[in-house]
Amino acid sequence: AVLAVRGLTEPAALAISALLLTPIALLPLTLAAADRLALRLLAPRGLAGRRWARRVRRVRRELEKLRQRPARLLAAALASVIMWGLQWTVVWVLLDAMGHLWPPATVVAGSTAAAVANLLPFNLIGNLGTLEAGWTAAFTALGVPLEVAAATGLAAHLWGLIFAAVFGGAAWAALSLAGRRS
């Protein structure tokens, strides 16, 4: 997202991007260390500790399996890229429908920062809070007026909740009907 706004010629953007990508590149080493730590620190702490240690080991093994099958890893990466592209497109279309036609690079950077902020472990009902804060901070930093950034963040989140309710409800109904038939 930083590169999308600043470009490849900006040294600071390249450095920030490298810092953000380094943990991903080191994920196998990080998981191996986490696995050893989980065995040493969590497993001796009873049933709950052993469960967490098993979860860490399961994640590590699944990633090792993916590394052994490059085609499957490529498919997973491609699916992730497509998912992000579709998410950015939906955000861009929603913003356009609200009368805010921002450059695609701004939409990508701002909505990505909002998604990362949404990973914080505290939210209100309906998952409100961190997404809007991240959205507002990111888009304000990208030059969008504070009031517009806050309003579009709340509106985009509410639309997302509506989409999830409509499509989730339809899927739930379809699965319920399919379950009754079998």
Residue 140 has φ and ψ, to the nearest 5°, of: -65, -40
Query: What is the structure's pLDDT at 87?
Result: 85
Distance CA 123, CA 119 (A): 10
- 128-177, pLDDT tens digit by residue? 788 888 889 989 988 899 999 999 999 988 888 898 899 999 999 999 98
Q: How many CA atoms lie within 13 A of 67 on its CB side?
A: 9
Mean pLDDT of 112-135: 80
